[in-house]
Amino acid sequence: MEPSINFKPAVSLTEQIANHLSDEIITGKLAPAQRIQELKVAKSLGVSRGSVREALLILEGRHLIEIIPRRGAVVSGLHREQVESLFEITSTLLTMLMTKATRVWKDASELAGFDDALKDMEQALDEGNIGAFTDATGAYFRAAFPLCGNCYLQSIVEDLLPAHQRLMYQVLARGSERMEQDLAELRAVLVAIRSRTVQAVEHTMSNFSRRQRERALELS
């Protein structure tokens, strides 16, 4: 664990600790089933134990850890059943998100967020930067938030994205050439959104989800 974080003033301390620990879990520095000790984290980051406890509640909400009574926080596992379950729910909700965006957008400018994210994915692909690539994938799906008009769906997907990103990261760490296929599939989803064809969005999203799932299952 890094001994210090660059704290940004706009984000609360709790949120910053949560984001720091999220990164460690996504990139595998904190491994499945590893214990996270409040006191140790508090000391190493120079923050209060209370702030760490709050950050752990946020991480639990993001499905990255489990808090077990009288045992504390443990990094979520990546067993076959957990990977299957995660993809079942994320593919349902991401498809719901993208089809809602498809039905709602009016002006092409509303789709700029998707284009920006695809550009960031391209750049990360050129640089072979897995972290930046998975971040940009998150940004791609978040580009649908202003269009989806459902604050509940938005917050549930927001909480699922880090766990999804974790699986993507672990897959790409084994073979970063796979980024190209991810990029091609998410480009196809945007073409479908532009064509306003809900069925095409469902089809391209299903391709993306199915292949993500297959690859992630090879990890377990």
Tokens standing for 50?
A: 């209370």
Q: How far is Cα of residue 54 from the mean position of the Cα atoms in its chain?
A: 20
SS3 label, residue 74: strand
The reply to whether 206 sits near a second copy by the rule CB under 8 A is no
Which listed range, 57-65, 101-109, 173-181, 210-218, lies at the site for a second copy (CB under 8 A)?
57-65
Q: Is the dihedral of CA 71, 76, 81, 84 positive or negative?
A: positive
Rank residues 122 and 158 by Cβ distance to a second copy and give the closer one.
Answer: 158
Within 67-126, the residues that bind a second copy by CB under 8 A are 69, 81-82, 85-86, 88-89, 92, 96
Rank residues 89 and 217 by Cβ distance to a second copy and give the closer one.
Answer: 89
Pick from 160, 157, 124, 125: which is nearest to 143 by CA? 157
Rank residues 121 and 160 by Cβ distance to a second copy and give the closer one.
Answer: 160
SS3 label, residue 36: strand
Q: How far apart are CA 199 and CA 187, in angstroms?
A: 16
The single-letter code of the amino acid at 77 is G
The reply to whether 181 sits near a second copy by the rule CB under 8 A is no
- Residues forming the site for a second copy (CB under 8 A): 12, 50, 53-54, 57-58, 61, 63, 69, 81-82, 85-86, 88-89, 92, 96, 149-153, 155-156, 160, 163
